[in-house]
Structure 1
Amino acid sequence: MPTRRKSSRTAGAPARGGPGALSPAGAACRFGFRVAVATVGVTVLTFALALTALPDKVPYPFTGDGIPQQWPGDYYWLFPAMVLMLLFVALVAALHQYAPDKSKTYSSLALCLAVIAATVLLINYYIQAVVMPTSLEKGQLDGWSIFTQYNPHGIFIALEELGYLLMTLVFLSLVPVLSTRTRLERSIRWLFLASFAAAMASLAVVVALRGMNREDVFEIIIISIAWLTLIAGGVLLAVLFRRGPQVA
């Protein structure tokens, strides 16, 4: 009597390529949904902590009695901000996988720019959160003034401007990735376009009014634009990914 060959596949697991298996776009949507939700939550947390840590005007060399009383609370927001940079790259990666083949060039560009922007901001935030407080506590203040977040003309502010300007370029690069077939995707397209336009207009106005002496004015504006876009866009993208891949 012939014996029935046992299947080596685990019972209940979908066969590879079978009807229960996720397509690459489907897997990207599942991953993207989770990342989008996390991005919204972490951005809200970072924004809230940053609003409580707006530095007072501190005179040069930004040390000693001039440090605001809320220190070291001024540094707490940097930690979720670093996590946010990783989530931002993951979110763009999910959109790159979600993109139709004809839009892969734009999504690839967006992903490359996202990596650059996140790297700039991640290094900037890590140095500020780890190096600067320790240097202040130990009185090792050589070079402190040029790196500290309290310096409105310092490296920290400049790198933030660069990083978030690149982030708005990512939003612009993602516009062709999203179709115009549904109201949801059109809304995300307009949001990303508006974010880039607002960033460019703000930069032009601030430079026209203040020139090189813009201090932290543009930095605050560009951060607010980027974070508000991540919150609103994260919600919309979570809905988009929840619906699953669209059939061409």
Structure 2
Amino acid sequence: MEPIPNGPTKTLLRFGLWVSLALSIITFVTFGMALVAAPNPGTFCPGDCFEYPYLNIISEYPVDFTWMYPALALEVLFLIWAVWMHRITAKEMQLFSHIALIFAIISGIILVSTYFIQITVIPASLINNETEGIPLFVQYNPHGMFIAFEELGYLFMSFSFWFIPFTFNRSGGYGIYIRWVFRIAFLMVLVSFIIIAIQYGVMREDRFEVTIITINWLTLIINGILISLWCQGKLNSL
């Protein structure tokens, strides 16, 4: 790879440009599919909702599960993105990018496992009429394991958002906006969790899950575009 003085190589910049664009696009697609296929139980259900024990949800397969396939790709791309950002971070800032990478890995492990199990285990179990214990794990249960693991996974993603900006610590232009988008997203997640936890306690249902997914996915869409523009700007300056 051709070295760039005081910065990443051309190859790294091109790689980052395309990974950032891909992440932005796949997140946008996932967001759209999730909105179309949003399950109808929970606090945001307008009516005619699935109720416990959620054993008739097989009627919604595969529509309500399709968004998890691009969500899996999203998580893999986010991990690659985090590795790339750690790679281009200035040496004195790599402690922070390393922390961001660790949080991204934890987030990826949780969310990839959660989505893969949901699309693999739940439909097959219901088709075979193996329903014991199913209510605790289905995405339709607003206080079930699926929602809890999503909250946990996206919380770790949010934690990484606080440390990623150190990668762009010396950057003006797009770098300023990138830093602010990540940090505002983290603060919004933190404030929303505190407000929802105080108001609803353990009965927050899926309120925080919907909130944190919305914040995190919008952050990935926006900063995916901004970072691709940042990479293009760096390439143009060579």
Query: One fold, TM greater than 0.5?
Result: yes
Moved more, 21-30 or 197-206: 21-30
Tell whether the 8 Å contact from 2:28 to 2:221 is kept in structure 1 after alignment: yes
**What's the counterpart of residue 25 of structure 1?**
8
Structure 2 distance, partners of 1:47, 1:104, is: 31
**What's the counterpart of residue 152 of structure 2?**
162
Structure 2 distance, partners of 1:209, 1:202, is: 10
Structure 2 distance, partners of 1:129, 1:204, is: 31
**What's the counterpart of residue 168 of structure 2?**
178
Letter of the aligned partner of 2:157 in structure 1?
A: M
**What's the counterpart of residue 6 of structure 1?**
none
**What's the counterpart of residue 23 of structure 2?**
39
**What's the counterpart of residue 143 of structure 2?**
153
Are positions 1:105 and 2:88 aligned together?
no
Q: How many residues are aligned here?
A: 226
- 1:73-96 Cα shifts (integer Å, max 9, x gaps): 000000000000010011111111
Larger proportion of helix: 2
> CA offset at residue 22 of structure 1?
4.8
SS in 1 for 2:187: helix
TM-score, normalised via structure 2 length = 0.90
Where does the alignment leave 5 or more consecutive residues of structure 2 unmatched?
Answer: 42-49
SS in 2 for 1:63: coil
**What's the counterpart of residue 104 of structure 2?**
114
Structure 1 distance, partners of 2:76, 2:160, is: 14
- 1:75-120 Cα shifts (integer Å, max 9, x gaps): 0000000000010011111111111111111111111111110110
Letter of the aligned partner of 2:145 in structure 1?
A: I
Aligned ranges for residues 1-248 of structure 1 at < 5 Å? 21-22=2-3, 25-26=8-9, 27-57=11-41, 58-64=50-56, 67=57, 70-244=60-234
SS in 2 for 1:25: coil
Tell whether the 8 Å contact from 1:98 to 1:245 is kept in structure 2 after alignment: no
Tell whether the 8 Å contact from 1:29 to 1:94 is kept in structure 2 after alignment: no
Structure 1 distance, partners of 2:66, 2:54, is: 19
Structure 1 distance, partners of 2:39, 2:197, is: 22
- 1:1-27 Cα shifts (integer Å, max 9, x gaps): xxxxxxxxxxxxxxxx7xxx3558222
- 1:171-215 Cα shifts (integer Å, max 9, x gaps): 101122212541211111100010000000110111111111011
**What's the counterpart of residue 13 of structure 1?**
none
Where does the alignment leave 5 or more consecutive residues of structure 1 unmatched?
Answer: 1-16
Identity of aligned residues (%): 35
